[in-house]
Amino acid sequence: MALLQISEPGESPDPHQLKRAVGIDLGTTHSLIATVRSGIAQCLSDHDGEVLLPSAVQYHKDFTVSLGRKVIERRSIDPLNCLLSFKRWMGRGHKDVDRSASPYRFIERDGLVTIETAAGPKTAVEMSAEVLRALALRAQESLGGELDGAVITVPAYFDDAQRQATKDAATLAGIKVLRLLNEPTAAAIAYGLDQGEEGLFLVYDLGGGTFDVSLLRFSRGVFEVLSTGGDSALGGDDFDARIVQAWLSDAGLSMDTLEPSQRHQWLMLAKQAKEQLTEQEAVSLEGPAGIQYLDRSRFESITKSLLDKTLVVLRRALRDASVDPGELSAAILVGGATRMPQIRRAIESLLECPVYSHLNPDEVVAIGAALQANLLLGQRSASDDWLLLDVIPLSLGIETMGGLIEKIIPRNTTIPVSRAQEFTTFKDGQTAMSLHVVQGERELVTDCRSLARFELRGLPPLSAGAARIRVNFQVDADGLLSVSAQELSSGVHASTVVKPSYGLGDEEITRMLRDGVDHANLDMQLRALKEQQVEADRMLLAVEAALEADATLLSAEEQHAIRCAMDRLRSLAAQSDHHAIRHAIHALSHQTDNFASLRMNRAVSQALSGRRVDELAS
Amino acid sequence: MNHSISELALTGSPQLYRHSFEIFGLKPQFELDKSQLTERFHQLMHAVHPDRHAGASDAERRQAMQWASRVNQAYRELLKPLLRAKLLCEIAAAAPVDLLKTAMPASFLMQQMQWREDLEAIAEHVDRLNELDVLESRLKQTEQELAAQFAQISLAFDKPDGRERATLAADLLRQWMFIEKFLDDIEQQRMQWLEVLPS
């Protein structure tokens, strides 16, 4: 009998109980989905046998949506409604985006990047949700049923707003997110488990629109991220743009004078040239203004400053982890853009260690995510057990007097992490205060990303300086921040009103969900009911397993109280009131708090007594 | 705004509030086997990390997050010599130690000023990165001396007058704290000169 959830035997005895776990790489240029079948992680292809789904969405007047390759083909005909590279706008404000480089009709709505399309205003979250929905559908068809959960990857250097936006997109697409996983970490998992080699690894991940570097140590089944760095607005796309600039200036033209459809044509041509230069020394291509020529040496010189930018980030990540290049076991190249020969050359000469790129650089992130999704759904064998310890990429802080920042959680802190800070009031009888949470490394608020403004209300009216308000910052394993506050002298929980600086509120998500299902002719209520029923089942199963294992930790009364809460939830879940089910889930959760605490305490003491939990199970 | 940092802020199981040596099942002492510490960190994380409880009930997942946060914090506190020393003082004195209090011997204040001037002078030097290394190694040496002094004093923390000794040792830690922060400034300066400063 299993003692703990974590000691459940890895392989499910009944193959019908196998859970459908997927890993999704939601990329700037293309996205893909992978799963683990018979112990092997593999990417799933569409009906045409294609694994890569271009991250491109076309909105039509009748509210239908096209996706992928056909959108790319149509973008010179319908440039305003064919949206590409929208990952760059995730969690970003209207003012943050360089609108001159895009052909789209930007509008400002709640400060968020929003595009006017034939089907109305759309945000990057909604566009990403379309891509996620299509991938989920592909997996459902392939795996023969609804998905039990997904691990979605994000650039390691994504800030809180960008991560939250990714999670919101999954919610909109109706996907249960098991975890947000950093892309370089996912790649390291795929390589680490493939090679079984222990040591220090550096992952250099240059995608279509984002760049990440992560340093990891892999030893005895633990992947430990030591530091991470990156640039969430630097990628292969920028190399294409440099080529276009060079060609246009040869022809005495500039980007600003081009029609949107022409811009697309030039960028496609540049991309083609870049890709061909991986194999060839020089290329000549037929373009909108005649034959365009480009050789490697010119390509390398016009893009050198981009490559140099990545090397600065790389050296900083090494310094942050106090690692000398000589200590590295290997460097791992990830992302389609690392096929450019100058990148491999630069890494080899800088780090002087073996450079791995034998796993498909487009697929390796999704593969790693699928492996983690499988693990999180408890489908593993004792020989295939590992743990991932990741970090927060950017420091979290709050604004203090004079627009300065006080760092609360420094970058590269292992997550989950919790830190608290105490504040006091500066006026007699003050009953509210506001806090501004920011993320970044610079000293001034104006140089950092604004995440949210919190207002604490309902403080007891005390004399100035007498109140002691403890504000707790909790970053979870997805790298997402939540803030809570309490006045210590009175015990009053201040209510927090959160205004995300560049994100969607709960109401907006609900509205988008409603819009989405209206168009799909689905009933919103039905969806909510189904979600709560699935959650109720999950909860009942989890508590049942815990009771089966550890009922002896509880008194007869405690057991009875939990059983009652379970019975109540079970009977409500068979009915159709989703609010009532949610309340019953909450009640059961509350009822099991103490039990959970006892089980966890025991798990901790067992861990230290030297006996591994999986040894106890057998 | 007026505030101070308290490292630990968690609600939940009273077990979470035990001090970091207890969490790791270690005897409170300054000498520490780093590989044993890391091994225990991994063992604890295997038991409490949220990924190990992904399918569990909400209550257990909440517990897992609190525990994993606590274990991470305890690991950092035990791993960093200054934080470890501070914790030992706090255990022995049964009171919190404020490292930011500025009361320091006059001789140390003089030394501080000298270091600051040295750092400013280095900026003008032709071989400034090398000079920075030299200054850094001087500070690291002083830091090691302070650590050794502390290690010696802390051996007597369990004596009847341990409490007084711990209070005196706290003065040593404030000097050490200054050096830590100065070393951070040096690293920041180095990153700037190497042009790898975060933006």
* CB interface of A with B, residues 19-48, below 8 Å: none
For residue B98, the model assigns a pLDDT of 84
For residue A199, the distance in angstroms to the closest alpha carbon of chain B comes to 15
The residue written with tokens 């400063």 in the block is: B197
Q: Please give the residue of chain B at the shortest CA–CA distance from A223.
A: B42
Query: Which residues sit opposite A409 in a β-bridge?
Result: A396
- CA pair distance A333, A319, nearest whole angstrom: 20
User: Rounded to whole angstroms, how far apart are CA atoms A70 and A54?
Assistant: 9
Cα separation, A503 vs A137, whole angstroms: 26
Question: Over 80: is that where the pLDDT of A517 sits?
Answer: no
Question: What CATH number should be reported for the domain whose range is A191-234+310-360?
Answer: 3.30.420.40
Residue type, position A278, single letter: T
Q: Please name the member of B47, B58, B194 whose beta carbon is closest to the beta carbon of A613.
A: B47
Indicate which of A219, A377, A414 best probes the interface with B, i.e. most B CBs within 10 Å of its own CB: A414
ipTM (interface pTM): 0.86
Give me the catalytic one of A46, A168, A205, A487. A205
Contact B58 A589 (CB under 8 A): yes
Chain B, window 15-54: residues with a beta carbon less than 8 angstroms from a chain A beta carbon: 15, 23-25, 40, 42-54
Stronger pLDDT, A23 or B126, i.e. the higher one: A23
Q: What count of Cα atoms within 13 Å lies in the side-chain half-sphere of residue A74?
A: 18
pLDDT digits (tens, 9 = 90+) for A40-98: 999 999 999 999 999 999 999 999 999 999 999 898 889 899 999 999 999 988 888 87
Question: Given strand A112-117, what is the order of strands in its sheet?
Answer: A106-109, A112-117, A120-123
- Give A65-74 contacts, CB < 8 A, sequence gap 24+: A65/A119, A65/A130, A67/A130, A67/A131, A67/A134, A68/A134
Minimal Cβ distance to B47: which of A178, A426, A604? A604
Answer whether residue A11 shows pLDDT above 50. no
Give the start-to-end residue ranges of the domains of chain A: 9-184+365-383, 191-234+310-360, 236-304, 396-506, 523-617
Q: Which residues pair with A150 in a beta bridge?
A: A22, A177
Mean pLDDT over the full length of chain A: 87
**A104 at B interface, C-beta within 8 A:** no
- Which residues are bridge partners to A54 per DSSP? A30
Which tens digits make up the pLDDT trace of A425-440? 888 888 888 888 889 8
Q: Would an 8 Å CB–CB cutoff place B129 in contact with chain A?
A: no
- Chain A nearest C-alpha distance from B125 (Å): 23
What CATH code would you report for A523-617? 1.20.1270.10
Q: Which of A1-5, A126-130, A594-598, B100-104 has the highest mean pLDDT?
A: A126-130
Sheet holding A417-423, edge to edge: A481-487, A469-475, A417-423, B3-6
Strand duo A65-67 + A56-59: pairing: antiparallel
Determine the straight-line distance between the first and last CA of chain A, rounded to whole angstroms. 8
Minimum CA–CA partner of A148 in chain B: B55
| Interchain CB contact of A421 with B (< 8 Å) | yes
Domains A9-184+365-383 and A191-234+310-360 share a fold: yes
- Identify the closest residue of chain A to B54 by CA–CA distance: A376
Instruction: Just give the CATH number of A396-506.
Output: 2.60.34.10
Confidence band, pLDDT 50/70/90 cuts, at residue A615: very low
Q: Residues B176, B83: contact at Cβ < 8 Å?
A: no
Report the residue from B42, B69, B73 with minimal CB separation from A222: B42
Among A417, A426, A588, whose Cβ lies nearest the Cβ of B73?
A417
Distance from CA of B172 to the nearest CA of A (A): 25
Q: Do B59 and A312 touch (CB under 8 A)?
A: no
Distance CA A109, CA A217 (A): 43
Q: Which of A241, A196, A252, A253 is nearest to A220 (CA)?
A: A196
Look at A316 and B197 and tell me if their CB atoms are within 8 Å.
yes
Q: What is the tens place of the pLDDT at every residue in B17-53?
A: 889 999 999 999 999 999 999 999 999 999 999 999 9
pLDDT class of A519 with cuts at 50, 70, 90: low
Rounded to an integer, the average pLDDT of B59-88 is: 94
Q: Catalytic: A183?
A: yes
pLDDT band at A17 (very low <50, low <70, confident <90, very high): low
Does the beta-carbon distance from B52 to A401 stay under 8 Å?
A: no
Find all residues with CB under 8 Å of B110, minimum gap 6, and list them.
none
Residues in chain B: 199
* CB spacing of B59 vs A596 below 8 angstroms: yes
Any idea which architecture A236-304 has in CATH? Answer: Alpha-Beta Complex (3.90)
Contact A542 B56 (CB under 8 A): yes
pLDDT digits (tens, 9 = 90+) for A374-391: 999 987 766 678 999 999
Which parts of A352-492 are beta strand (E)? 355-356, 387-389, 396-399, 405-409, 417-423, 433-439, 449-457, 469-475, 481-487
Hey, is the C-beta of B74 within 8 angstroms of any chain A C-beta? no
Asked if residue A256 lies in contact with residue A76, where contact means CB atoms within 8 angstroms, the answer is no
Residues of chain B with Cβ-Cβ distance to A607 below 8 Å are: 43-44, 46-48
**Tokens 């650590």, residue?**
B147
Which residue has better confidence, A586 or A16? A586
Contact in structure between A580 and B24 (CB atoms under 8 Å): no
**Nearest-CA distance A442 → chain B (Å):** 6
Cα end-to-end distance, chain B, whole Å: 26
Q: What is the DSSP string of B7-50?
A: S----S-GGGGS-HHHHTT--S-S---HHHHHHHHHHHHHHH-G
DSSP A88-111: GGTT-BGGGS-GGG--S-EEEETT
Give the integer Cα–Cα distance in Å for A340 and A143. Answer: 35
Q: What are the chain B neighbours of A421 within 8 Å (beta carbons)?
A: 3-6
Identify which of A220, A151, A156, A221 has the alpha carbon closest to the alpha carbon of residue A185.
A156
In chain B, the domains with their CATH numbers are: 14-79 (1.10.287.110), 106-193 (1.20.1280)
- Share the mean pLDDT of chain B: 86
How confident is residue A5, by pLDDT bands cut at 50, 70 and 90? very low
- Supply the Cα-derived Rg of chain B in whole angstroms: 20
Question: Which residue in B7, B9, B23 is closest to A470 by CB distance?
Answer: B9
CA distances from B160 to A463, B28, B86, B88, B168 (A): 41, 17, 19, 15, 15
DSSP SS3 for A406:
strand
Q: What is the 3-state secondary structure (H, E, C) of A120-133?
A: EEEEHHHHHHHHHH
Confidence of residue A1 (pLDDT cuts 50, 70, 90): very low
pTM here? 0.88
Polymer length of chain A: 618
Q: Which CATH superfamily is domain A9-184+365-383 in?
A: ATPase, nucleotide binding domain (3.30.420.40)
- Spell out which residues of chain B touch residue A389, defining contact as CB-CB under 8 Å: 45, 49
Q: Which residues contact residue A360 at a Cβ distance below 8 angstroms, ignoring those fewer than 6 apart?
A: none
Among candidate residues A183, A237, A362, A487, the one labeled active-site is: A183
- By C-alpha distance, the chain B residue nearest A179 is B51
| Residue B100 forms contact with A (CB below 8 Å) | no
Q: What is the pLDDT of residue A75?
A: 85
* DSSP class of A142: H
Q: Is B149 helix (H, G, I), strand (E, B) or coil?
A: helix
Token pair in block for residue A453 = 């403004």
Record: contact A179-B63, CB cut-off 8 A:
no
Contact A39, A371 (CB under 8 A): no
Q: What was the pLDDT predicted at A4?
A: 33
Q: Active site includes A455?
A: no
Chain A: nearest CA to B47, how far in angstroms? 6
- What is the per-residue pLDDT across A243-270, written as a single tens digit (0 to 9) for each? 999 999 998 888 878 887 788 889 889 9
Whether pLDDT at A352 is above 50 = yes
Alpha-carbon separation of residue A442 from A94, A95, B49, B116 (angstroms): 22, 19, 31, 22
Nearest CA in chain A to B40: A608
Cα separation, A492 vs A540, whole angstroms:
33
What does residue A123 show for φ and ψ, rounded to 5 degrees? Answer: -105, 165
